[in-house]
Structure 1
């Protein structure tokens, strides 16, 4: 029986097909203008930009000028890049313009598609951000597409590591800015740590197009961006807590090694309360009290250190330091530390020197950063499987764009073996067969460790001519992946390697010309060396002329010959060594083959020992395979297996989505508070005179102090006069005769409050007169800086408190209370306390300000050399920003002796970089 939905789809097409069909009339209109636009001279074509801007000023909308603007970009692309966008690329551009995600298969030209909506939206003059997954792609795309924008009178900027604030501001001021997601997020956080509006580099969040949107908004969104600095030394606390854990027995805690979690039982909590009280470490009557949030957090870390982390497996102790061991490769990772106090707990356990813990100074998730944009769009080859997440979290629809040419790739059913060893033997044999007939092969693995296992198996069998990629050095790997379509080429890549570069049969002509002949003029490039450092190298170049033309022609002919050979061999053969948890990653790998209608083939090799099969495959899977006759050394190939695996993957995807959605619910709480604090900072920065704000804060503080010491309707004998006097001295720096005032007949709370305010006001007026000798704006500047510093200091403490609260709030579930609601309520209380404390701290500090003509140079609260940016890559567990400083050095404030440092010596700031790549850049 056919369903009504099935009949409707047959008659009218799917929802996706109907949406794509709706764009066709505008495509026809753009094509109709092609002859007219082609007839324009270069100057007349460039003049269209000013013409469009004038139309927008006169009240037209971007939608009104879309058809003509797209026609202009198409013509400019033909003239500048030699590329004419296909009709399906025009449809992709319209989808991106409409706040949606364009799913376009690999090789369909997403980079060129973005130029259409980027140009259109840049006409509004508010800036457009194009977001890429790494610095190499940001530089490459801005350089290539910048020629097109420049031809049409638009400016292009690019943000990457190593730029100072002036260069960043310049790049953000451009009409179009290319940057990585990390750089954009950290610039936003850094801007909200600046003390003056002029120092901020970003100019707003108008429109962003996110390339590889699934990677950035789903995969990388699992971990937040964090800017951190060192805390005060708390070694004694770690040592004291560490001594308590060995006193616990097995029934006092519960371990879950699969989830790597450890929790205290009710009995354990009671025992801890007793032990902590005896040691004078607990406040209040219960560990559940909010005052003990930090203590519970440290106890949890100590429990994990003793019960979940094993010496010589998870870490080793070397030269008095705890060094982490990478769980995937077994390699030591010196310099990397566990966050949130976990590393200090391990140092206490091993009785080595405890390094200061880092405090989070600012943080944000990618979900909340990208939701700030007025308009957001994305493009990728694989988004449909995550459509629900994009819709729920970002409000983005996913629209599948048809390919320009029909897909000719053959996707074979999976082959399943009993063991990993049998699977690898079969893969090696398959590779040998493909290489024998000259077919290019791309092998996808799920981890660096498995890439190395396969490489070892190939070498054992005598195959040595292959490349192994692990997405560490983007420039070199982009070239290798671009030549993976050469006949007989064998390339092994992890999930994340080489994205953003097409695999073209016969090899990528442009990249080969660039590699062999270089540029047409001398210059320098910044590349990543084998040590992972960014270094400057002389650019290879061959000047224009007959010699270069002849060499280019020879390369073109060779690429054409190699392409014919690769086509005859069956096109690119993609072999996957196992299924990933996400179908999307599998589809990304599979989509590497069959570009632009080319022939191709793909096959997945699995074993019952693979992680996905072992952990998430149903128990029925193994029994089903046994019934189908799976024996040692044999493989089972059946469509049922594909369906069973797809169900397992859907389960994992649903679980991961729930985890991310739950994390976002908690982060939304702090995000609302972050917006309030950052808006308040901007208001303070933009105010020339905040004396009225300071007066209101002072009056609020006085009112609060008076109410606390002189309760409403209380008798005079019940007044805490001594306490109020102490408050005035502590907060306002005023020694007032409050005892005498209290003895006056008929005096009441309002009059005492008024007298305190009057005394404080008098002191403030005297200070203002004294400040006049230093200039009219000095006191205004001091008030603004002190108030902002007080807000920043308390906000940092607040972030730490919320982190600790979040790590222990799950215990409320034992009391049948919803942890999220509890977190929201307590986070609100903490935020209200923050605002009250901020007023008190600012008023207290301002009451002690003394203006002197020769003030000593202010010591920064945080040494910029010690402040770090970090973002943990969810796929590898490595810190992508390791060694990145938050603030660039300033030549004016750099110690004189640093300037004599050799360019290749370590920078004295302690960043771990060479001087020429750190503070030495200031003299480049």
Structure 2
């Protein structure tokens, strides 16, 4: 009671962090008429004036109101966007080296330009980190116009760029890159023989977009540069042939820990088969010291067959096994599982087996990003992991208020007993939404599941688009159309980040599509006018139908991924709705207490095709997710403990090389 009263009088801890910033916003707003009166040349001249003041000892904090007012005016002139007051607040939080939690559609990409410009004035370079190459290119091109207007240079680092181009990109005032490119460039730099061959020039300030994805979800996977070792492809193929003949009593699976081990019966069976194949001699057993590598190969083959699923954990593309990122649903080209697991999966799929690799250099994302003198981040979902951000990165999470209140309705989960009943309910809901003219985004947890649902919709005669790692080249086009009336888009987690679904469709992309190769200014103006009117009419129709309806087909291990999907709807005060359809056969429900819940539903007399919808079900699911998140946090903490030991040695060796 006292706590509630104190919050009403004093506000929450978050309110107290935000409150002082409104006074700075007033100072920035007061400068707006003055900045608007400047010519383009005079506005650009502000950059050198600020740099001169910094050289004389003035601080970045003292320059902040003027610098932010300068960027706001430059953004209006260069790209036709004016940062809102709440975006100025978000920019201040980033400048302070904190995490700014901003909801979808609040313009995080534009927010970053404010602290990026201010900190780039030091001449040390600022890194803006994105979750994929498409966003790095898009944001560098889009926001690069603002920086160029103010006389700053912008570079972008993406795969396939040579060292000379990388060095030029890192030498720019602002560099856009993915976390993988930054980390691998750091490792490669420290394997170079000459200082002048290094491409990075230091780690002054980084702003990480979708910070929870990069600093938490991907933190379980270290970056590794490796070299080939002895070819053992014959052994992988021979052991792979044993796997289909294993019976369920030969092995045990622990889905929570993602492990697969042979039972006593399984050991005897495999030993007998290995003797027949000539890999074990005489009375030798699998666990004799000289056969340790055989045990390892058998265990990895068992994991490949029983734990790793095609079109969920990986896809086969052009005869290669390509890993699928479980958090983003994207292909991780060039990344390979270690300890022979990738080779075991290649043997399972009949692909050419690449030699196993030995590690030449490695670093975790935790230790890479702790190299920066100042680190900040943006995301729509960080508060659930505030403890981890604080304990590992010393990053404070501040929730920024939305420019317009969120008008989305989040329904209670609908839980069915079987997948079949759930799929039927989803199809019925989609048909219902389409009849009203409502755009619908359906979120799935894997490629396989997105394609199964697509097949079911095709059978039911429902037109739709599919967005997953197989079709990632069409991502921008599919997302641009996802907000049109009655549009149905099935997506993996790919659609959860860095994308903005606008009701009515994306007007810029539609105009570009219609204009094509047209060069006549009068015709282009006419096309622009017509398409803009069409998109606005479609937007009004979608609004009247209730806005974007997000349908989740399964709960993810992490609440944040679910919240990311929900956050696609209800942007900038638009109406919207989100509903999760679940079944007791879903992975999360099955692994964490689905049996108990099934018994409960039977006692309640639940009929086939009927769903249970109740707040306590949501709470039970959130508890299950909390357990998984806590376990994953422990895994990351343990990984970091080991890497911290290596990190001291890594720093010492890398320092000697310089």
TM more than 0.5: yes
SS, match of residue 495 in structure 2: coil
1:594 is aligned to 2:594: no
SS, match of residue 451 in structure 2: helix
Alpha-carbon shift at residue 513 of structure 1 (Å): 1.9
Cross-structure match for 1:114? 112
1:471/1:498 contact within 8 Å kept: no
Alpha-carbon shift at residue 501 of structure 1 (Å): 2.2
2:441/2:550 contact within 8 Å kept: yes
Alpha-carbon shift at residue 113 of structure 1 (Å): 0.3
CA distance in 1 between counterparts of 2:352 and 2:574 reads 60
Deviations 1:889-915 (A, max 9, x none): xxxxxxxxxxxxxxxxxxxxxxxxxxx
Cross-structure match for 2:17? 19
1:545 to 503, 521, 532: 521
Alpha-carbon shift at residue 475 of structure 1 (Å): 4.8
Using a 3 Å threshold, how does the CA distance of structure 1 residues 614 and 341 change in structure 2: closer, same or farther? Answer: closer
Cross-structure match for 2:224? 226
Deviations 1:640-680 (A, max 9, x none): 11111111111111111111111111122222211111111
1:477/1:498 contact within 8 Å kept: no
SS, match of residue 572 in structure 2: helix
1:621/1:644 contact within 8 Å kept: no
Cross-structure match for 1:97? 95
**504-513 or 585-594, which deviates more:** 504-513
**616-625 or 479-488, which deviates more:** 616-625
1:678 is aligned to 2:654: yes
Cross-structure match for 1:205? 203
Cross-structure match for 2:320? 335
Alpha-carbon shift at residue 327 of structure 1 (Å): 5.8
Cross-structure match for 1:914? none
After the TM superposition, which residues 18-57 of structure 1 pair with which residues of structure 2 at under 5 Å, given as runs? 18-57=16-55
Deviations 1:382-423 (A, max 9, x none): 111111111111111111111100111111111111111011
1:328/1:449 contact within 8 Å kept: no
Cross-structure match for 1:558? 534
Using a 3 Å threshold, how does the CA distance of structure 1 residues 31 and 325 change in structure 2: closer, same or farther? Answer: closer
Cross-structure match for 1:636? 612
CA distance in 2 between counterparts of 1:37 and 1:419 reads 62
Q: What is the TM-score when the length of structure 2 is the normalising length?
A: 0.87
Cross-structure match for 1:456? 455
CA distance in 2 between counterparts of 1:53 and 1:330 reads 50
RMSD: 3.3
Deviations 1:517-573 (A, max 9, x none): 2xxxxxxxxxxxxxxxxxxxxxx5433611111111111111111111111111111
Cross-structure match for 1:195? 193
1:123 is aligned to 2:113: no
Using a 3 Å threshold, how does the CA distance of structure 1 residues 349 and 437 change in structure 2: closer, same or farther? Answer: closer
SS, match of residue 117 in structure 1: helix
1:302/1:346 contact within 8 Å kept: no
Alpha-carbon shift at residue 60 of structure 1 (Å): 1.1
Alpha-carbon shift at residue 255 of structure 1 (Å): 4.9
Using a 3 Å threshold, how does the CA distance of structure 1 residues 307 and 57 change in structure 2: closer, same or farther? Answer: closer
CA distance in 2 between counterparts of 1:516 and 1:347 reads 44
1:613 to 570, 584, 589: 589
Alpha-carbon shift at residue 198 of structure 1 (Å): 0.7
SS, match of residue 339 in structure 1: coil
After the TM superposition, which residues 780-819 of structure 1 pair with which residues of structure 2 at under 5 Å, given as runs? none
CA distance in 1 between counterparts of 2:120 and 2:476 reads 29
SS, match of residue 363 in structure 1: strand
Using a 3 Å threshold, how does the CA distance of structure 1 residues 461 and 36 change in structure 2: closer, same or farther? Answer: same
2:584/2:594 contact within 8 Å kept: no
Cross-structure match for 1:446? 445
Using a 3 Å threshold, how does the CA distance of structure 1 residues 264 and 149 change in structure 2: closer, same or farther? Answer: same
After the TM superposition, which residues 155-194 of structure 1 pair with which residues of structure 2 at under 5 Å, given as runs? 155-194=153-192
Using a 3 Å threshold, how does the CA distance of structure 1 residues 345 and 446 change in structure 2: closer, same or farther? Answer: closer
1:314/1:327 contact within 8 Å kept: no
1:582 is aligned to 2:558: yes
After the TM superposition, which residues 722-801 of structure 1 pair with which residues of structure 2 at under 5 Å, given as runs? none
SS, match of residue 497 in structure 1: helix
Deviations 1:31-74 (A, max 9, x none): 11111221212111111111110111111111111111101111
CA distance in 1 between counterparts of 2:253 and 2:641 reads 24
Using a 3 Å threshold, how does the CA distance of structure 1 residues 548 and 354 change in structure 2: closer, same or farther? Answer: closer
Using a 3 Å threshold, how does the CA distance of structure 1 residues 626 and 14 change in structure 2: closer, same or farther? Answer: farther
Using a 3 Å threshold, how does the CA distance of structure 1 residues 80 and 355 change in structure 2: closer, same or farther? Answer: closer
Alpha-carbon shift at residue 302 of structure 1 (Å): 2.9
Unmatched 5+ stretches in structure 1: 316-323, 518-539, 683-924
1:156/1:171 contact within 8 Å kept: yes
SS, match of residue 593 in structure 1: coil
Using a 3 Å threshold, how does the CA distance of structure 1 residues 109 and 472 change in structure 2: closer, same or farther? Answer: farther
Alpha-carbon shift at residue 199 of structure 1 (Å): 0.6
Alpha-carbon shift at residue 170 of structure 1 (Å): 0.6
CA distance in 1 between counterparts of 2:98 and 2:26 reads 22
Alpha-carbon shift at residue 634 of structure 1 (Å): 0.8
Cross-structure match for 1:648? 624
After the TM superposition, which residues 430-441 of structure 1 pair with which residues of structure 2 at under 5 Å, given as runs? 430-441=429-440
**358-367 or 599-608, which deviates more:** 358-367
Alpha-carbon shift at residue 440 of structure 1 (Å): 0.6
Cross-structure match for 2:389? 390
CA distance in 1 between counterparts of 2:303 and 2:474 reads 39
Deviations 1:452-477 (A, max 9, x none): 111111111111x2100014554521
Cross-structure match for 2:131? 133
1:82 to 80, 83, 90: 80
After the TM superposition, which residues 436-515 of structure 1 pair with which residues of structure 2 at under 5 Å, given as runs? 436-463=435-462, 465-497=463-495, 499-515=497-513
CA distance in 2 between counterparts of 1:26 and 1:215 reads 31
CA distance in 2 between counterparts of 1:277 and 1:628 reads 56
CA distance in 1 between counterparts of 2:500 and 2:111 reads 15
SS, match of residue 177 in structure 2: strand
Cross-structure match for 1:668? 644
Deviations 1:431-490 (A, max 9, x none): 111111111111111111111111111111111x21000145545212211221111111
1:314/1:326 contact within 8 Å kept: no
2:443/2:552 contact within 8 Å kept: yes
CA distance in 1 between counterparts of 2:66 and 2:299 reads 62
Alpha-carbon shift at residue 344 of structure 1 (Å): 6.2
Alpha-carbon shift at residue 257 of structure 1 (Å): 4.6
1:154 to 146, 152, 160: 152
Alpha-carbon shift at residue 624 of structure 1 (Å): 3.8
CA distance in 1 between counterparts of 2:349 and 2:471 reads 36
SS, match of residue 443 in structure 1: strand
Alpha-carbon shift at residue 233 of structure 1 (Å): 4.9
1:262/1:300 contact within 8 Å kept: no
2:312/2:448 contact within 8 Å kept: no
CA distance in 2 between counterparts of 1:383 and 1:494 reads 21
CA distance in 2 between counterparts of 1:353 and 1:572 reads 44
2:497/2:564 contact within 8 Å kept: no
Alpha-carbon shift at residue 497 of structure 1 (Å): 2.9
2:31/2:66 contact within 8 Å kept: yes
Deviations 1:763-793 (A, max 9, x none): xxxxxxxxxxxxxxxxxxxxxxxxxxxxxxx
Using a 3 Å threshold, how does the CA distance of structure 1 residues 234 and 576 change in structure 2: closer, same or farther? Answer: closer
CA distance in 1 between counterparts of 2:223 and 2:539 reads 43
1:145 to 143, 146, 149: 143
Cross-structure match for 1:717? none
Using a 3 Å threshold, how does the CA distance of structure 1 residues 40 and 325 change in structure 2: closer, same or farther? Answer: closer
CA distance in 2 between counterparts of 1:134 and 1:309 reads 27
CA distance in 1 between counterparts of 2:571 and 2:460 reads 31
2:99/2:395 contact within 8 Å kept: yes
